[in-house]
Amino acid sequence: MDKKYQPIIGMETHVELKTKSGMFCGCKNDPDAKKPNIHTCPVCLGLPGALPVANKKAIEWTIKLGLALGCKINKLSKFDRKHYFYPDLPKGYQISQYDMPFCYQGKVETSFGPVRITRVHLEEDTGKLIHQNINGHNVSLIDFNRSGVPLVEVVTEPDIFSSVQAKEYAKKLRQIIRYLDISDCDMEKGGMRLEANISLLNVKSQMTNNKSNSKFKLPNYKVELKNINSFRFLERGIEYEIERQREILESGKTPIQETRGYNAEKNITFTQRTKEEAADYRYFPDPDLPPINISEKWLNEIKSTLPEPFDGLFKRWQEKYNLKPELVELLFETAEESKKLEELFKKCIKEKLSVEKFVNAMVHKKIKTIEEFKKMTNIDEVSDDDLKVIIEKILKVNPKAVADYKAGKINTINFLVGMVMREAKKKIEFQRLQDLIKSFL
Partner 1 sequence: MTIKDIEESLKKGVFSCQELVKESFSTIKKHDKKINAFLTLNEEQALKQANHYDNLIKKDKNIFDEKPLLGIPVALKDLFTTKDIRTTAGSKIIGDYNPPFDATVVKKLIDAGAIIIGKTNEDAWGHGSSGENTDYEVTRNPYDLNRVPGGSSSGSGAAVAYGGVLVGTGTDTGSSVRLPAGFCNLVGLKPTYGRVSRYGIIAMASSFDSIGHMTRTVYDNAKVLEVTAGVDPFDSTTVPIKVDQYTKKLGQSIKGMKIGLPKEYFVKGLDDKVSNSIKNSLKILEKLGATVKEVSLPHTDYAMAAYYILVPSEVSSNLSRYDGIRYGGSREMFGAEAKRRIMLGSYTLSSGYYDAYYLKAAKVRTLIKRDFENAFKEVDVLIVPTSPTLPFKIGEKVDDPLQMYLSDIFLCPVNLAGIPGLNVQSGFVDGFPVGMQIIGPQFSEELLYKVAYLFEQETQYYKIRPKFKNG
Partner 2 sequence: MSKKTLSTEEILHIAKLGNLTLTEKEVELFKKQLSSVIEYIDKLQEVDTKNVEPLSQTTGLTDIFRKDEPDEKRTLIPEEALKNTKSKENNLFKVKAVLTE
- Interface residues with partner 2 (CB under 8 A) are 19-21, 25-29, 35-43, 45, 53-59, 83, 85-87, 92, 129-131, 134, 137-144, 226-227, 261, 272-273, 280, 282, 284-285, 287, 289-293
Smallest separation (angstroms) from partner 1 to the CB of 24: 9
- The H-or-E segment that residue 358 falls in is helix 355-364
Contacts of 416 (CB under 8 A, 6+ apart): 394, 395, 398, 401, 402, 405, 437
Smallest separation (angstroms) from partner 2 to the CB of 240: 18
Q: How far apart (Å, rounded) are the C-alpha atoms in residues 269 and 210?
A: 33
Q: How far apart (Å, rounded) are the C-alpha atoms in residues 291 and 156?
A: 25
Q: Which does 39 bind (CB under 5 to 8 A by kind): partner 1, partner 2, none?
A: partner 2
Question: Angle CA(211)–CA(215)–CA(220) in degrees, nearest 5?
Answer: 100
Distances (CA, A) of 303 to 120, 175, 307: 16, 19, 9
Binding site for partner 1 (CB under 8 A): 42, 45-54, 81, 83, 85, 87, 90-93, 142, 280, 282-284, 286-290
Residue placing its CB nearer to partner 1 in the complex, 93 or 317: 93
Smallest separation (angstroms) from partner 1 to the CB of 37: 10
Q: How many CB atoms lie within 10 A of CB 402?
A: 18
End-to-end CA distance of the chain: 62
Q: Which does 361 bind (CB under 5 to 8 A by kind): partner 1, partner 2, none?
A: none
Q: Which does 130 bind (CB under 5 to 8 A by kind): partner 2, partner 1, none?
A: partner 2
Residue placing its CB nearer to partner 2 in the complex, 138 or 378: 138
Smallest separation (angstroms) from partner 1 to the CB of 132: 16
Residue placing its CB nearer to partner 2 in the complex, 145 or 338: 145
Smallest separation (angstroms) from partner 1 to the CB of 284: 6
Contact between 87 and 294 under an 8 Å Cβ cutoff? The reply is: no
Q: Which does 93 bind (CB under 5 to 8 A by kind): partner 1, partner 2, none?
A: partner 1
Q: How many CB atoms lie within 10 A of CB 226?
A: 18
